[in-house]
A and B are shown apart, each in its own frame.
Chain A
Amino acid sequence: AAGVIQSPRHLIKEKRETATLKCYPIPRHDTVYWYQQGPGQDPQFLISFYEKMQSDKGSIPDRFSAQQFSDYHSELNMSSLELGDSALYFCASSPPRTGQYNEQFFGPGTRLTVL
């Protein structure tokens, strides 16, 4: 079965650089979520999109922005990178809303290292 695809899987950047993470949801899933998992931490919700519109916003820094495109893939843009941005970034997707209780299917994550 198709899963959530994230690219790149690993990314190394220097402070103050920019990074773009991509997420391709499971086919026919219309909602995309972004989470950040720091070393030894639980995942923290950043932002989500439903039908190309932002639906929920969590603890996403102002330096970060995201969008969902017409083909439902999503990109997380990160600017002025800081050492503390080093983390595993997960994308998740969920199927069309038949209720507010669909489970989220997670991708393998992008490991970002900021030097």
Chain B
Amino acid sequence: AQSVAQPEDQVNVAEGNPLTVKCTYSVSGNPYLFWYVQYPNRGLQFLLKYITGDNLVKGSYGFEAEFNKSQTSFHLKKPSALVSDSALYFCAVRWRNAGNMLTFGGGTRLMVKP
């Protein structure tokens, strides 16, 4: 079955340190990969996407993600975390030739401490 996993429920990082939020997907065709962020009582905000081409994708607010086909991963990264980055992050996958719906991972709560 097609699935996407975020193995960490929560990631804690100190402000100014690099952060990584992990995402892996099941091997079933070539997916389109997305990252969204959700602040409390807010909708999902698009950060970045991987469709094809360069494996390193740059997105909003200094975030980037690296597509690794051999490891079926799409980890979200940022070189220097800000307290304001604290939020809930969702990885999402759209499988080609399987409709346009997004399948979300379980979410990872990022806590950036001053």
Interface positions of A (Cβ within 8 A of B) = 4, 31, 33, 35, 41-45, 48, 50, 55-56, 58, 90, 92, 94, 99-101, 103-109
B36 nearest in chain A by CB position: A106
Choice from B34, B100, B107 contacting A42 with Cβ under 8 Å: B107
- B99 within 8 A of partner (CB): yes
Interface positions of B (Cβ within 8 A of A) = 32, 34, 36, 42-46, 49, 51, 90, 94, 96, 99-107
Bound Cα distance from A104 to B101, whole angstroms: 9
CB distance from B29 to the nearest CB of A (A): 12
Bound Cα distance from A104 to B46, whole angstroms: 8
CB distance from B53 to the nearest CB of A (A): 12
Whether B43 contacts A108 by the Cβ 8 Å rule is yes
Bound Cα distance from A101 to B99, whole angstroms: 11
Q: List 17 A-B contacts (CB under 8 A).
A: A33-B101, A43-B102, A45-B101, A56-B99, A58-B101, A92-B44, A99-B51, A100-B94, A100-B100, A101-B94, A103-B34, A103-B46, A105-B46, A106-B44, A107-B43, A108-B42, A109-B42
